[in-house]
Amino acid sequence: MTPVLEVADLRVEFRTDEGRVPAVRGVSFQLSRGEVLGIVGESGSGKSVTSLAMMGLLTGSSQVAGSVRLGDTELLGASDKELSRVRGQSIAMIFQDPMTSLNPVYPIGYQIVEAIRAHHDITRDAARSQAQRLLGVVSIPNPSERMNNYPHELSGGMRQRVVIAIAMANGPEVIIADEPTTALDVTVQAQILEALHTARVQTGAAMLLITHDLGVIAGQADRVLVMYAGRVVEAGTVEEIFYAPQMPYTLGLLGSQPRLDLRRQRLHPISGAPPSALHLPPGCPFAPRCPLAAPVCEADEPPLVATGTGGHLSACHFSDQLVGVAPGDLFRPISQDTPL
């Protein structure tokens, strides 16, 4: 199947007073039509910077290299004019905080109409009825009245629905959702995931779902990328990642997660903290926290390579030793942190 979106060796560096900060270090992936690709990782892993760089939304002190292809169009280095045609039309974005994407001084109906008319030559009235229909699709009650509301008159969940309606407006090929439910309460999160599902089914769009929440990934994603220190350290189907992880970091994440479906049991944390992007260790960036670390790990950063089965990739010198290993086999149920 031809991918709708193809990212190859994406690199992002920020220039700071303290030196160059490599935030994304060679990320590659393909997104197929209608697929949901989850990107999971902790703060600072580079998952959000990846999505911003793809859309050309990083400015100033950043340097972006690599390739981001949407169909036949190269997005990296494209002019603002070309990018404006793509953004909102072929690729739509949904961010964590809906207030950053909505304009506080215009009614929401007006903003949806604008989004439609930016890419389609239709009358204001036609766009209005289209906007009203979209609000209904994302389950906003009384859409015709809500059209006249300003963003501040809506709750956080309602605002995020409006953002989803705008994302759907032009039938995008790709929806990038960056922590779309992180700021929301869990009952509202369930509503928004439902609305995102509807948006995807109705537009047929593929989705890049960026989140730190393993539960959301487990329920929504077809394939998963696990990011650590600016790189993809494991990639596979959602089943491969959750049931047969081949990278110690992924195992550590799963073992750290308190679970609703299990009785109280000891958690297996990862000791230490992720490295600062300013001072990455020379070898595998996870080595200082990894129970499997050997001298080779501190010398060479392992490449992301196939583990044997299909598209399952892992960046670990010892991934073949992780077959059938559970988090508790690898990580100790410690409460004491490894000090600085």
Q: Which residues bind other proteins (CB under 8 A)?
A: 42-43, 139, 141, 155, 157-158, 185-191, 193-194, 197, 212-219, 222, 238-239, 242-243, 252-271, 273-274, 333-337, 339-340
Q: How far is the CB of 189 from other proteins (least distance, A)?
A: 7
Q: Indicate the residue type of 209.
A: L
- 10, 154, 233, 337 from 272: Cα distances, Å: 28, 41, 18, 6
The tally of CA atoms less than 13 A away on the side-chain side of residue 211 is 26
Q: How far is the CB of 65 from other proteins (least distance, A)?
A: 28
242 or 318: whose CB is closer to other proteins?
A: 242
Whether 315 and 233 have beta carbons less than 8 Å apart is answered as: yes
130 or 139: whose CB is closer to other proteins?
A: 139
Q: What is the DSSP letter of 275?
A: P
Q: How far is the CB of 116 from other proteins (least distance, A)?
A: 27
Q: How far is the CB of 40 from other proteins (least distance, A)?
A: 10
Q: How far is the CB of 213 from other proteins (least distance, A)?
A: 7
Using DSSP, state whether 44 is helix, strand or coil: coil
81 or 264: whose CB is closer to other proteins?
A: 264
- Paired sense of beta strands 73-74 and 62-70, if any: antiparallel
Q: How far is the CB of 59 from other proteins (least distance, A)?
A: 27
For residues 69 and 52, give the distance between their C-alpha atoms in angstroms, rounded to a whole number. 14
For residues 198 and 201, give the distance between their C-alpha atoms in angstroms, rounded to a whole number. 5
Using DSSP, state whether 177 is helix, strand or coil: strand
For residues 57 and 48, give the distance between their C-alpha atoms in angstroms, rounded to a whole number. 11
53 or 193: whose CB is closer to other proteins?
A: 193
**Sequence-separated (6 or more) residues with CB below 8 Å from residue 195:** 138, 139, 160, 161, 164
19 or 215: whose CB is closer to other proteins?
A: 215
64 or 217: whose CB is closer to other proteins?
A: 217
